[in-house]
């Protein structure tokens, strides 16, 4: 590789890593595995070391990944939350230990611990009281998520006999069992699935409503003391033992060891138990145990010199893809799945795997009868990585999506620009249960007590066929179900009755119109006011609503052109379900036609309060800055949105100026 080729590759890798880092840290929606990301990162590190003339202080190898979200107040860490260097083989691990021992002038003792794959957080205590919790962010500035962290298991609110100041670092994670149940629920409700437990944990901790965080069953493991005043320790392991006595959930399966062979053996032991653990790990951490040694060895700008992370490669195995079957989801989406010859993978027997969609099958050229490579995404969800073409016999069969729904026989369509194939049958039995679960969910009609298992029991007992039948249920009907007593039956009937007043905004989302989410439903309801007006609206009238595109408008018109769907609405109205909007769209307000973007922290309002004021005056509150933005309302510690607004020449206003505008 010559110099120009090296420069081109370095630039390409920096761009790729920044993109995937943003998807991982900030969007909680990774597109590649951790192992693939680490390989790109290592390649960049090697090239930058070989060609130091291309040093750039903004390179991802210099800066810690991630950024603080503007949805939360910023927190400047008193002790930087650094990342760790990585090694990927036993040889590299042993080389690190030899180098560190040599720098220290002695054979060191190391604490060897599992590396939890979660979201790194800092917890601050003053005189034993939990006062603030924050995410890592970019390592220097994170997000204040105190209220959400108070709902996480393993974090004591108060500790006895505490030092004056205590700051600890831990990893918030979602147990595998909770992750699987959450994804099952999201699939039933037609929502995008989380890629792995780490992203589920990050998405859950960054909820603006701490009640949602509390429902997700997050936990934490503490693995370091960042700062302490009024007490001291000689060793890292001693500090962890103290934290455990205080009631913290401290990292398990750790050992203090000396010598590269013993350390490598313990890392292998941790790796062997990966599949049996209740939480996800992506490696093991090796760090000097004596704290004075850490002080002597110091750190780089990004990582300590006394610690390293050993990354386990994802376990991949070959097996036979015996067949491909199609599952029909709540919104009618057909999802292809693979039936596999059973293979042992990451601690469990795997006989099925997701194939995501038809585009994925074609891109990877996966055929029935292929030998395929499978792995577990995040060590949880089995997926087909690729086909092994060199092992083909010629008898393999390409897969095609069915022309008719395998459940109801209705035609299957694929809309332009969509990866998904959809069943057009409004009465499809495969969609029925998922429709009911979605209808009763919190963002929709919010029927407390009507979860997936109760919904399934109602369908199986023939008590309901569609959501309108819910309103005909009696307490006596419910008593035939397992675990239902008079009180629980009474509570569910009351919750169903209460849902009648949810309003058109929630109803439009609840009935499951393809492409229409909660915001699209709310905007449509506010614009038209009644369900009758929505049902008679033309596509061009609906697409005239800001943020409602032509495809969404066409989907609404198509939904209400189906006789079955019109009949459903009439039945709901007959049972007393309110079909008028709770709020009307504001027209003629002083902010009509104006788009605002909020950034930073406001002193007089929460972000939601400011948005409601803008919308009450006819304006629109957007989450991103563009040329169409009219005003950027900048509070304290405004972030990248302010920079973009300045670059685009957009009108930037202070909170005081905003107050004048709304008088």
Alpha-carbon distance 438 to 279, whole Å?
28
Q: CA of 158: how far to CAs of 126, 127, 152, 219, 305, in Å?
A: 9, 9, 14, 17, 34
Average pLDDT, rounded, for the chain = 87
Alpha-carbon distance 184 to 191, whole Å?
10
Which is more confident, 583 or 190?
583
Per DSSP (E only), the strands in 179-316 are 219-229, 255-258, 281-288, 307-311
Q: Which of 132-141, 197-206, 207-216, 398-407 has the lowest mean pLDDT?
A: 207-216
| Residue (of 516, 514, 493) closest to 506 by Cα position | 516
Q: Which residues pair with 311 in a beta bridge?
A: 283
**318-329: b (≥16 Cβ within 10 Å) or e:** ebbbeebebebb
Average pLDDT over residues 395-424: 87
Residue 68 has pLDDT above 50, yes or no: no
Q: 264 pLDDT band (50/70/90 cuts)?
A: very high
The structure tokens listed for 529 are: 């006011």
Residue 210 has pLDDT above 90, yes or no: no
Q: Do the domains 74-311 and 317-413 sit in the same CATH topology, yes or no?
A: no
Mean pLDDT comparison of 174-188, 342-356, 511-525, highest-scoring range: 511-525
> At which residue do the structure tokens 């800001």 appear?
546
pLDDT in tens, 237-249: 999 999 999 999 9
The structure tokens listed for 334 are: 């057909």
Task: List the end-to-end C-alpha distance of the chain, in Å, as a whole number.
Answer: 65
pTM: 0.55
> What confidence score (pLDDT) does residue 361 get?
94
Q: Which of 32-41, 541-550, 552-561 has the lowest mean pLDDT?
A: 32-41
> What confidence score (pLDDT) does residue 489 get?
93
> At which residue do the structure tokens 């079957």 appear?
325
Alpha-carbon distance 354 to 357, whole Å?
9
Average pLDDT over residues 259-268: 96
> What confidence score (pLDDT) does residue 91 get?
94
Average pLDDT over residues 8-28: 75
**284-311: b (≥16 Cβ within 10 Å) or e:** bbbbbbbbebbeebeeeebbbbbbbbbb
Longest dimension (CA), the chain: 83
What residue spans define the domains of the chain?
3-54, 74-311, 317-413, 429-574, 595-661
Residue 286 has pLDDT above 90, yes or no: yes
Q: 69 pLDDT band (50/70/90 cuts)?
A: very low
Residue 610 has pLDDT above 70, yes or no: yes
- Superfamily designation of domain 429-574: 5' to 3' exonuclease, C-terminal subdomain (1.10.150.20)
Residue 287 has pLDDT above 90, yes or no: yes
Residue 371 has pLDDT above 50, yes or no: yes
Please provide the CATH number assigned to the domain covering 3-54.
1.10.287.610
> What confidence score (pLDDT) does residue 109 get?
97
Among 115, 176, 311, 376, which one carries the catalytic annotation? Answer: 115
74-311 folds as D-amino Acid Aminotransferase; Chain A, domain 1 (3.30.470)
pLDDT in tens, 453-511: 899 899 888 899 889 999 999 999 999 888 888 999 999 999 999 999 999 999 999 99
How many CB atoms lie under 10 A from the CB of residue 354? 17
Residue 90 has pLDDT above 60, yes or no: yes
Q: 378 pLDDT band (50/70/90 cuts)?
A: low
Mean pLDDT comparison of 280-284, 577-581, 627-631, highest-scoring range: 577-581
The structure tokens listed for 176 are: 């595998």
Residue 75 has pLDDT above 80, yes or no: yes
> What confidence score (pLDDT) does residue 94 get?
96
* Strands 620-622 and 595-599, sheet pairing: parallel
> What is the DSSP track for 475-502?
HHHHTTSTT--HHHHHHHHHHHHHGGGS
Quick one: what percent of the chain has pLDDT higher than 70?
Answer: 93
pLDDT in tens, 314-356: 778 899 999 999 988 767 889 899 999 998 876 678 899 989 8
> At which residue do the structure tokens 């959809």 appear?
422
> What confidence score (pLDDT) does residue 26 get?
57
pLDDT in tens, 549-590: 888 999 999 999 988 889 999 999 999 999 999 877 656 678
- 115 is a catalytic site residue: yes
Q: Which of 255-259, 379-383, 533-537 has the lowest mean pLDDT?
A: 379-383
> What confidence score (pLDDT) does residue 458 get?
92
Cβ contact 543:553 at 8 Å: yes
> What is the DSSP track for 548-609?
--HHHHHHHHHHTTSHHHHHHHHHHHHTT---B-SSPPP-S-TTTT-EEEEESB-SS--HHH
Cα four-point dihedral sign 85, 88, 89, 92: negative
> What confidence score (pLDDT) does residue 588 get?
65
Q: Which of 151-155, 200-204, 537-541, 620-624 has the lowest mean pLDDT?
A: 620-624
595-661 folds as Rossmann fold (3.40.50)
Q: 29 pLDDT band (50/70/90 cuts)?
A: low
pLDDT in tens, 430-455: 778 878 988 998 889 999 999 888 99
Q: Which CATH number fits domain 317-413: 3.30.530.20, 1.10.3720.10, 1.10.10.10, 2.40.50.140?
A: 2.40.50.140
Phi, psi torsion values for 309, nearest 5 degrees? -110, 125
HEC secondary structure over 39-94: HHHHHHHHHHHHCHHHCCCCCCCCCCCCCCCCCCCEEECCCCCCCCCEECCHHHHH
Average pLDDT over residues 107-122: 94
């Amino acid at each position: 590789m010559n110099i120009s080729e090296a420069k081109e590759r370095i630039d390409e890798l920096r761009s790729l890593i920044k993109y995937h880092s943003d998807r991982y840290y900030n969007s909680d929606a990774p597109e590649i595995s951790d192992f693939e990301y680490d390989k790109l990162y290592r390649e960049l590190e090697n090239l930058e070391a070989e060609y130091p003339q291309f040093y750039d202080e903004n390179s991802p190898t210099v800066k810690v990944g991630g950024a603080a979200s503007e949805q939360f107040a910023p927190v400047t860490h008193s002790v930087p939350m650094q990342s760790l260097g990585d090694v990927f083989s036993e040889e590299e691990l042993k080389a690190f230990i030899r180098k560190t021992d040599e720098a220290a002038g002695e054979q060191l003792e190391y604490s060897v611990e599992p590396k939890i794959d979660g979201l790194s957080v800092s917890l601050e205590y003053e005189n034993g009281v939990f006062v603030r919790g924050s995410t890592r962010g970019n390592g220097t500035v994170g997000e204040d998520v105190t209220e959400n962290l108070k709902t996480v298991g393993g974090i004591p609110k108060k500790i006895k006999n505490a030092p004056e100041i205590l700051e600890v670092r831990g990893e918030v994670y979602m147990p595998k069992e909770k992750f699987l149940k959450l994804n099952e629920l999201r699939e039933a409700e037609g929502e995008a699935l989380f890629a792995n437990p780490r992203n589920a944990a990050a998405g859950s901790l960054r909820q603006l409503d701490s009640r949602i965080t509390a429902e997700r069953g997050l936990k934490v493991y503490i693995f370091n003391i960042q700062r302490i005043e009024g007490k001291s320790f000689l060793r890292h392991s001693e500090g962890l033992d103290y934290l455990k006595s205080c009631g913290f959930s401290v990292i398990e399966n750790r050992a203090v060891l000396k010598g590269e062979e013993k350390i490598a053996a313990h890392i292998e032991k941790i790796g062997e138990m990966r599949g049996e653990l209740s939480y996800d790990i992506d490696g093991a951490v090796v760090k000097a145990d004596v704290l004075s040694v850490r002080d002597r060895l110091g750190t780089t700008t990004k990582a300590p010199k006394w610690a390293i992370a050993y990354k386990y490669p994802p376990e991949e195995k070959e097996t036979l893809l015996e067949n491909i079957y199609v599952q029909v989801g709540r919104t009618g989406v057909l999802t292809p799945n693979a039936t596999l010859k059973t293979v042992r993978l990451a601690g469990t027997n795997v006989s099925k795997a997701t194939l995501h969609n038809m585009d994925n099958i074609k891109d990877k050229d996966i055929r029935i009868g292929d030998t395929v490579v499978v792995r577990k995404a995040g060590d949880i969800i089995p997926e087909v990585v690729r086909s092994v073409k060199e092992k083909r016999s010629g008898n393999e069969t390409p897969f095609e999506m069915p022309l008719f729904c395998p459940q109801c026989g209705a035609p299957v369509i694929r809309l332009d620009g969509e990866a998904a194939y959809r069943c057009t049958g409004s009465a499809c039995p495969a969609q029925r249960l998922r429709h009911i679960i979605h209808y009763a969910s919190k963002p929709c009609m919010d029927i407390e007590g009507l979860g997936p298992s109760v919904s399934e029991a109602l369908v199986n007992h023939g008590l309901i066929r569609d959501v309108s039948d819910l309103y005909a249920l009696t307490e006596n009907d419910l008593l035939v179900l397992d675990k239902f007593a008079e009180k629980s039956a009474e509570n569910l009937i009351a919750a169903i009755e209460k849902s009648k007043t949810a309003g058109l905004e929630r109803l439009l989302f609840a009935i499951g119109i393809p492409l229409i989410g909660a915001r699209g439903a709310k905007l449509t309801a506010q614009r038209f006011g009644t369900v009758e007006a929505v049902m008679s609206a033309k596509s061009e009238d609906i697409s005239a609503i800001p943020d409602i595109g032509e495809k969404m408008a066409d989907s609404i018109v198509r939904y209400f052109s189906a006789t079955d769907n019109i009949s459903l609405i009439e039945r709901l109205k007959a049972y007393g379900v309110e079909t008028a909007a709770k709020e009307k769209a504001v027209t003629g307000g002083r902010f009509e036609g104006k788009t605002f973007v909020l950034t930073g922290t406001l002193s007089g309002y929460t972000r939601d309060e400011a948005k409601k004021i803008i919308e009450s005056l006819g304006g629109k509150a957007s989450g991103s800055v563009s040329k169409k933005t009219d005003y950027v309302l900048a509070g304290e510690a405004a972030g990248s949105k302010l920079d973009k607004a300045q670059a685009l020449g957009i009108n930037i206003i202070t909170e005081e100026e905003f107050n004048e505008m709304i008088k």
